[in-house]
């Protein structure tokens, strides 16, 4: 995925909003781009759950952590952010892409021979009732969490005043302020990157 490119499922939800097939959509805030499409607004940011990255191990590695996995063990993650950080923290491990929802990813881990561990958002595991699968919570030094990770955002049309007023009651002030700061920081980083790599705009 290119820098600044939206996930396709997020785009599809926003198309439904634009066409008034739905009045609001709920996202993991980390999945929303820092610049929303014209006519869309984040109307609520709910109280943040754990923003940490979590490790889920194959049953054969029960009781271990990433540092204790054998040389060459394969860790599944679809996040370039995680791979970049974890390669530095755990150079003895290999990293491979894994796709699908949580159920699919956990099934690929447990039933297959490809992955020795997965790295996932702790909040997602906890919301699904799978907190007991978390073998390790990564520190910020090992893997700094994604912007907005752990928070839910509700998006609606900017001209839908009644829905905006209703959703405003769901705002969690501390989460809102922290996530606004994180998103502003990310937006500036992306802007600086494009200024320093203008030739990439041709591709």
Cα–Cα distance measured from residue 2 to residue 22, given in angstroms and rounded to the nearest whole number = 28
Residue 73: both structure tokens together = 């063990």
> What token pair was written down for 101?
């929802």
DSSP state of 67: G
Assess contact for 154 and 24: CB atoms under 8 A: yes
User: Which listed residue (23, 31, 49, 110) is catalytic?
Assistant: 31
Query: Which residues are bridge partners to 121 per DSSP?
Result: 53
Task: Name the residue with tokens 């500036």.
Answer: 188
8 Å CB contact between 82 and 61: no
31 labelled catalytic: yes
In 10 A of CB 61, how many CB atoms? 17
Q: Angle at CA 80, nearest 5°, toward 48 and 59? A: 75
CA triple 44-49-50, angle to 5 deg? 140
Distance separating alpha carbons of residues 28 and 47, to the nearest angstrom: 12
Residues labelled catalytic = 31
């Amino acid at each position: 995925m290119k820098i600044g490119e939206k996930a396709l499922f997020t785009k599809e939800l926003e198309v439904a909003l634009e066409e008034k097939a739905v009045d609001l959509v709920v996202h993991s805030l980390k999945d929303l781009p820092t610049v929303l499409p014209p006519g869309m607004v984040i109307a609520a940011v709910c109280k943040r759950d754990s923003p940490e990255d979590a490790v889920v191990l194959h049953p054969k590695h029960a009781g271990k952590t990433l540092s204790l996995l054998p040389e060459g063990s394969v860790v599944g993650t679809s996040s370039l952010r995680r791979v970049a950080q974890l390669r530095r923290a755990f150079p003895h491990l290999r990293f491979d892409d894994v796709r699908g929802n949580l159920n699919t990813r956990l099934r690929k881990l447990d039933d297959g021979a490809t992955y020795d561990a997965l790295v996932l958002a702790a909040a997602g595991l906890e919301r699904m009732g799978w907190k007991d699968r978390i073998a390790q919570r990564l520190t910020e030094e090992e893997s700094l969490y994604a912007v907005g990770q752990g928070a839910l955002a509700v998006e609606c049309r900017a001209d839908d005043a009644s829905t905006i007023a209703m959703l405003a009651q769901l705002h969690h002030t501390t989460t809102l302020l922290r996530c606004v700061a994180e998103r502003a920081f990310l937006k500036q980083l992306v802007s600086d990157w494009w200024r320093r790599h203008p030739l990439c705009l041709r591709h």
